[in-house]
Structure formats: C-alpha cells, structure tokens
Amino acid sequence: MQGLGRVDAPHSNRRDFDNLKKLTRYLWEYRGRVVLALGCLMISKLAIVAVPLLLKEIVNALDEGKDTAEVITGSTGAQEGAAQAGSLLDAFSGNDVMLVGLGLVAAYGLLRLTSSLFKELRDALFARVRYRAMHTLSTEVLTHLHDLSLSFHLERSTGSISKDLSRGTNSLSSIVNLLVFNIVPTAAEFLLVAGILLGGYGWQYTTIVVLTVVVYIMFTLIFSGWRMKFRHEMNRLDSLSSGRAVDSLLNYETVKYFNNEKREIAAYDEHMEGWADAGVRSQVTMSTLNFGQAAIVAVGVTLIMMLATRDVASDAITLGDIVLINALMLQLFVPLNVLGVVYRSLQYALADMDLVLKLLERKPEIQDKADAVNLKVEESRIEFKDVHFAYLPERPIIKGISFVVEPGTKVAVVGPSGAGKSTLSRLLFRFYDVSEGSVSINGVDVRDCTQSSLRDALGVVPQDTVMFNDTIRYNLAYAHPEADDERVAEAARRANLEDFIAQLPKGYETIVGERGLKLSGGEKQRMAIARVVLKNPPIIVFDEATSSLDTRSEQAILEGMNAVAKRATSLVIAHRLSTVVDADQILVLDAGEIVERGTHTSLLATGGLYADLWHMQLAGEDKTDKEAG
C-alpha cells in the first residue's frame, strides 16, 4: 500500500504546525465570517467574565450595609442606637435590598442572555465556514484521487482508503471547531482572569494561577503525547479491519466458492480484537490523565482560596473579593479542564488530517506537460516506436516493440499470457509512460498532448467491464452523458442489447448492481460495446474482450465488435485467436517482444508460435464440444 492506504505507519513524520498552516487556506475564502464569529465569541466571553465582577459589587454593597448598622449601634446609646439601626435596616431592607436584588437579577439575566446570544451568533456565522471547508476538502481529495496514476489505484485498499478519507475530512471540522471555539476563547479567558487578579490582588494570586495553568498544560501535553500511540494503533487496526471487511464483501462469490467465510471472519476478528485491546488501553490512560488534571486543578484552587481566606480575615480584601476570586477560578478551570479533552481531540484530528494532507502532497506519476497540446485526430494513425517498458526496473515487460496501425485498419496483438499484450493498451491510454521509445498518434507523442484530449480520441472494450451500481441507461450513457434516449437506444441496438433490455421489467431503468454483478459476462461486454458506439471515437481498443465468454456469446460479441470496428482504427488484444482471423495484421508477442507478424493465413503457413497457439485452441474447443455432446 502506498499513500493514504498505507496502514503500517499511518502517522509517522507528522508536521502538525505545517498542516495547520495549510488548513488556513480552506478558511481564507470566508475570512470575513471568521472575524465576525471571533468577535461574537469575545463578546460572549466578556459577558461571562463580567458576572463575577457584578457579584463582587453586590456582595460588597450588602456587606457595607451590615457594617453601617453595626457602627450606628455601637456609637449611640443602646435604646437610641437600636432605634436608629432598626430604622436604617428597615429602610435598607425595604428599598436598597430590593433594588440590589432586582439589579442582580436583571444584570445577571442580561449578561447570560448576551453570552448566549453571541454564542449562537458565533455558531450560525461559522456554520458556513465549517461545512464549506469540508466540502472543498472532500472535493479536492476526490479530484486528486482521480488525478493519481493507475499504479496508485492498483495498490490501494478500497476499504482502508474510504475509512481514512472519512476520518480525514471530518477532522477538518473538528480542528476548526477546537481551535476557534475552545483553544482561542480559553486563552482569552485566561488572559482576562490573569489581568483582573494581577491588577486587583497582586502577584501572589497571579503566580498561583499561572503556575497551575502551566503545570496543567505541561502534564496534559506530555501525558497525552505518550498515550497517543494507543490511538494510532486503534486507527491502524480500524483501517485494516474495514479494508478486510470491504474486500471480503466485494469478493463475496469467491469467498462462497471456497467456503472461506470462517477464514474471512477470523481475519476480521483478529484485527478487531487488537482494536478493542488498544481501545481499552486508551481509555485507562485517559482516565489516569483526567485524574491527574483534576488533582492539579484542585491544588491550584485550594491555594488560591487559602490566600483569599487569609486576606479576608486580615481585612486586606472584602467578602465580595473572595466571591469574585472563587467565581473566576471556577470559570477559568472549567474550560481548562475541558482543555485536556480538547487537546486529545485535536491530536486525534491532526493525526487523521495528516493522512489526507500527505495524500494531497502525492504527485501523480503521469502529468501533462506545461506546453501539452490538445490532440487532433484526423487520420487515426498509431505508431509504437522501439518501445521499452517495465513496471519494476528489474522486470522488463516490453522490449523494443515497433509497429504501426494505419488509419481504418485492424491490427491484432496475440501471444501467451504474460507476454505484455494488455500493457500496450495501458501505454496507449498513457496510464503509464514508456521507459524508452515513443507511442504516437498522427505523429504526436502521447506525452506531448493532454491526457484529456488523448482519451477523448480513444474508446475501449475491456476484458472485465465494470459497471456503476446504477441503471442500464446511466451506464450506457456514461460514455456520452449528453446523449438523448434515442441515441442510447440506437447504441444498444447496434450492440445486440435491444432484445435483452426489452425483456427486463424496468427496461433501461434496471439497476445493474455493484460492479454490474446482476449482468452476465456477455451482457456486460455488449454494454461495453454500446458505450463505444455511443462515444464514437476514431480509435478503439479491444482488450481481450471475449476471453471469458463461451463460443455462442463470443460470436454475438464479435458481430458487435466488427460492426463498430469498421468505422474506426482498431487495436485488438486477443487471447482467442478466432476473434482476429480477419485482422489486417497480427502481431505475435512472446516475453515482451514481437516474434512474428503477418496475416492469419501467412502466420499459419509459417508454422511458428501463432500456428502452435492456433492448433492448441482448436484442440481445446474440440474437446469441449465432445464433452458437451
């Protein structure tokens, strides 16, 4: 596995700071909304911090009223003082206390309402930013996956890459929310609280708060960093188990043929058992982390309250001050306690995001040149000139092949399995670039034109025709999405599909199943021919289009192939020699080299490899016919 699908070390060489910088470009488009959302957030935090300040003034006002009454009682005669104190308290209780109480309720309610209002405004403003960023990233990743070369897709695991993509895309939303709505406001609240304590109560209070926060953050970072390995292991095993499950379901029939359900379940269960063990270790270490965080907060709050109690007893601060300090501590350490969860969530999200960003950094092996031209096909002449190619340097596949397909002709390539036949079509479509030599159309090297224009000029009937899990109409029109129903029906008729579709209860609206599993091999091949008819390209490649069909189906497919081939230049890669007897030229490949070339008749007369293959296939067909009879 390579790229995103690689699960053996999914989180190695992470660059979290660089990744965070890269994520900012997904937010830049909506920077105005981000600024407004942050403004609403700050107003909400200011309103919350203002509540303890209001409580302080209220408590002090009540405390001063009590002190005034005590002073009057002690400075006059007992009877007269009692009368004055009673009168004062009555007046205070009857008016001031009511006003203070009403003021408290009104101010508290207003501040809470303000905080709630701006918090909801923040969420509403930021919703478009978050979801549009996820939309942009998801589209960019899918586009990049389509841009990556065939080699990547041949090596990837569909289940693993799907799981990693889902986690990676969701992690963008998590990272944005955690940074903007948790870390930034918590930092702002800490600075506000530190400023209030330093300005009003001196360095001792501020020092304890700062030390508590520093110790808390250091403990959280160190311990969380250590326990992240369990989360990494969970992700790795989660991807493996998902990939194994999807792979076994995609190969459902193969599993059934070999009665290997227990083997597949056992492999899946092994991954899930490891995932569960890693999950338990992750939870145990998280509980340890939570307790450590709570202990640090408890020590810090206790020290602060001891200082406050001492200062109240010595009249250095008021009763309202101790209420203020207590409320500030609670407001600070509640979000700070959540900061541990936030940090862990951020680490998980960054680990998941790292997979996607590394995928986006992966460069396609096949890219258009800066000065690539649009291919204009006029005569449809194909030329392979001294072509060498190897998937792996130590194992050459094509060794110095040269041939020409003249416009309007049919050239066939035959040979034993592994001779390199299908590789020729991949080089023509430029799924790979040649190691040496050149492949050209109308004299233009395929490396000098855009991939899009090249593939517009080419049509293919592959050996294994894969369908989308959609309707017959959708799959037929895939070659030409703008085609109307009449053109789709005409293509089906020319591919001998008309009678088959007419027998279906839903006709063209019949769902073909995942990868076309509801269709037979012959039906899928006729669908592929109909696609080529609808596309109507000047060059058609038939890549072992009948190799898996019976003789009767082969004849029906051949009729469709020949009808289509008459109107185009054709390159036929064949396993069954009976399908190429009418070719203008037959190339015989063996071990990556052309060992014979000529017509069917001349090659039989030569008595070489082609003749041997021909007689072997005839003998095999005769044996099959006798067994059937």
Q: Which CATH architecture has domain 465-536?
A: 3-Layer(aba) Sandwich (3.40)
Q: For tokens 């292991």, what's the residue?
A: 233
* Mean pLDDT for all residues in the chain: 78
High-pLDDT (> 70) share of the chain, %: 80
pLDDT band at 382 (very low <50, low <70, confident <90, very high): very high
**Pairing between β-strand 585-590 and β-strand 569-573 as defined by DSSP bridges:** unpaired
What is residue 441's predicted lDDT score, i.e. its pLDDT? 92
What are the phi and psi torsion angles at 157 (to 5°)?
A: -110, 120
pLDDT digits (tens, 9 = 90+) for 446-459: 999 998 899 889 98
Residue 327 predicted with pLDDT over 60: yes
pLDDT at 163: 66
446 or 84: which leads in pLDDT: 446
Q: Which residue has the tokens 């992690």?
A: 171
pLDDT tens figures, 162-180: 766 676 677 887 887 787 7
> What pLDDT, on the 0 to 100 scale, is given for residue 123?
80
Domains 149-367 and 399-457+539-629 share a fold: no
Q: Which phi-psi region, left, alpha or beta, contains residue 156 (left: φ > 0; alpha: ψ -120 to 50)?
A: beta
pLDDT tier, 404 (very low <50, low <70, confident <90, very high otherwise): very high
User: Could you state, in order of their start, the residue ranges of all structural domains in the chain?
Assistant: 30-147, 149-367, 399-457+539-629, 465-536
pLDDT average, residue stretch 196-203: 77
The mean per-residue pLDDT over the stretch 464-481 comes to 84
Residue 30: both structure tokens together: 């909506």
Q: Does 13 or 474 have the greater pLDDT score? A: 474
Quick one: 399-457+539-629 is in which CATH superfamily? P-loop containing nucleotide triphosphate hydrolases (3.40.50.300)
pLDDT of residue 445: 93
Distance CA 547, CA 117 (A): 69
The yes-or-no verdict on residue 102 having pLDDT over 80 is no
pTM of the model: 0.63
- Residues 266-279 pLDDT 10s: 988 888 888 888 88
Q: Average the pLDDT over each of 208-222, 244-258, 555-569 and give the range with the smallest value.
A: 555-569
Residue 164's pLDDT is what?
A: 63
Higher pLDDT, 186 or 554: 186
**8 A C-beta contact, residue 441 and residue 377:** yes
Mean pLDDT of 113-123: 83
The region of weakest confidence among 126-135, 278-287, 485-494 is: 126-135
Question: What pLDDT was estimated at residue 595?
Answer: 93
Region 175-202: mean pLDDT is: 78
The beta-carbon contacts of 391-396 under 8 Å, at least 24 apart in sequence, are 391/151, 391/432, 396/592
Rounded average pLDDT over 611-628: 69
Q: Is the dihedral of CA 470, 471, 477, 483 positive or negative?
A: negative
Q: Is 568 helix (H, G, I), strand (E, B) or coil?
A: coil
H/E stretch holding 277: helix 261-313
Fold of 149-367: ABC transporter transmembrane region fold (1.20.1560)
Question: CA 360, CA 137: separation in Å to the nearest integer?
Answer: 10
Encoded tokens for 570: 């054709």
Phi then psi dihedrals of residue 344, to 5 deg: -65, -45
Say if residue 260's pLDDT is above 60.
Answer: yes
Q: Is the pLDDT of residue 401 over 90?
A: yes
- Whether 6 has a pLDDT exceeding 50, the answer reads no
The secondary structure of 89-156 as a DSSP string is HHHIIIIIHHHHHHHHHHHHHHHHHHHHHHHHHHHHHHHHHHHHHHHHHHHHHHHHHHHS-HHHHHH-
The pLDDT-based confidence of 73 (bands split at 50, 70, 90) is: very low
Question: Which range, 79-88, 142-151, 221-230, 390-399, has the best average confidence (pLDDT)?
Answer: 390-399
Count CA within 13 A, CB hemisphere, residue 264: 19
Among 459, 381, 453, 389, which Cα is nearest to 424's?
A: 389
Q: Which residues face 383 on adjacent strands? A: 404, 440
DSSP state of 436: E
pLDDT value for 92: 44
What is the pLDDT, as a whole number, of residue 155? 67
The pLDDT of 219-245, averaged and rounded, is 81
Round to whole Å and give the CA distance between 131 and 138. Answer: 10
